[in-house]
Amino acid sequence: MASNEDSASDVDFRLVTTYIPVLMLLARSGLLVVVVDVCQRAVTWPSSLFVLVVVVVYFDAYLFRAQKLNRVCGFLAPVALGVYVSTRAPHTHCTGLQVVVMHWVVDLCWAVSSSFFLASHALRMRIPVDVVTASMAWAACLVAHAILACSHTTSAEVVCRAVCYYVSCMIHYYSMSFVDGIDRNALAFSVMHVSLHMMFVEVYVLLGSSLVFAFLYARIYYEGLSRSPGGGMDLPTKRGATPGSGALPEPSELMRELRAAQATSREP
């Protein structure tokens, strides 16, 4: 269905077409939240709701498998996880202070470690932890958050979190084209995991993390523009011509020798 390949190296934030894939993701995630909310009111079997979410996510991933931005964002799987966690029955252990403290510690560690991982790219720091190990630790944070979570997330909040998540993934994926020496395979794997906490952590932790992410993205983008001649608006120029001169290049030495040989062969 969707066959266009999004290229992070050729991104131009001034073009409307750059934002079409993420807008489609937001529209589909909003539709998923609405469908689950309606079915939750009509169906009393949690297992049926789980199967519905899995089926929707599977066929959505199949239809949009050709779009690279969809793949690095995890399609609708993060939103589906957020919706499913929000539909669970409230826990009975939320009255204990120790559980609440542990819950906040898990959320803070999750958000801070994700911000630090993104900062390592923005500030060109070398960290001894690779993205696979970090992703496993963040998956453990997700499990711990789901076990310790006490507050109920509304459908409107899930949609707002989806907006933060997909916009962060888009900027992360595209802005890394301004950073030299980035492993593209590791980047494609890390995009979803670095921003995944935005779908789950407490609201105050989410606000702080979003501010840090916005600062780091702005730093990456403007440093990339400052390193490229002409403020990042280079146009391809012909070899031998200076940019902006509009003059055609001089004939090369080889071309002049060829023309001289042709002229000599025509002489009687």
Phi-psi region of 67 (alpha: psi -120 to 50; beta: other; left: phi over 0): beta
Answer for the pair 82, 21: CB distance below 8 angstroms, yes or no. no
Is 250's pLDDT higher than 70? Answer: no
Is 193's pLDDT higher than 50? Answer: yes
Question: In the predicted model, what is the mean pLDDT of residues 30-52?
Answer: 84
pTM of structure: 0.80
Question: In the predicted model, what is the mean pLDDT of residues 197-202?
Answer: 94
Q: What is the pLDDT of residues 52-90, one digit of tens each?
A: 899 999 999 999 999 999 999 999 999 999 988 877 655
Give the gyration radius of the chain's Cα atoms: 25
pLDDT grade for 107, boundaries at 50, 70 and 90: very high
Measure the CA–CA gap between 148 and 221, rounded to whole angstroms: 37
Name the residue with tokens 């993934």: 169
pLDDT grade for 42, boundaries at 50, 70 and 90: confident
Q: What is the pLDDT of residues 217-235, one digit of tens each?
A: 998 888 877 766 554 434 3
Q: CA nearest 187: which of 6, 26, 57, 65?
A: 6
Answer for the pair 32, 79: CB distance below 8 angstroms, yes or no. yes
The pLDDT, as a whole number, for residue 228 is 61
CA dihedral 119, 121, 125, 130 (to 10 degrees): 100
From residue 106, how far is each of 72, 86, 191 by CA, in Å? 25, 18, 21
The pLDDT, as a whole number, for residue 10 is 60
pLDDT grade for 170, boundaries at 50, 70 and 90: very high
Measure the CA–CA gap between 137 and 207, rounded to whole angstroms: 22
Is 14's pLDDT higher than 90? Answer: no
Higher pLDDT, 45 or 35: 35
- Lowest mean pLDDT across 3-7, 28-32, 122-126, 204-208: 3-7
Question: In the predicted model, what is the mean pLDDT of residues 200-209?
Answer: 95
Enumerate the domain spans of the chain. Answer: 8-227
Please state the three-class secondary structure of the chain as a single string: CCCCCCCHHHCCCCCHHHHHHHHHHHHHHHHHHHHHHHHHHHCCCHHHHHHHHHHHHHHHHHHCCCCHHHHHHCCCHHHHHHHHHHCCCCCCCCCCHHHHHHHHHHHHHHHHHHHHHHHHHHCCCCCCCCHHHHHHHHHHHHHHHHHHCCCCCCHHHHHHHHHHHHHHHHHHHHHHHHCCCCCHHHHHHHHHHHHHHHHCCCHHHHHHHHHHHHHHHHHHHHHHHHHCCCCCCCCCCCCCCCCCCCCCCCCCHHHHHHHHHHHHHHCC
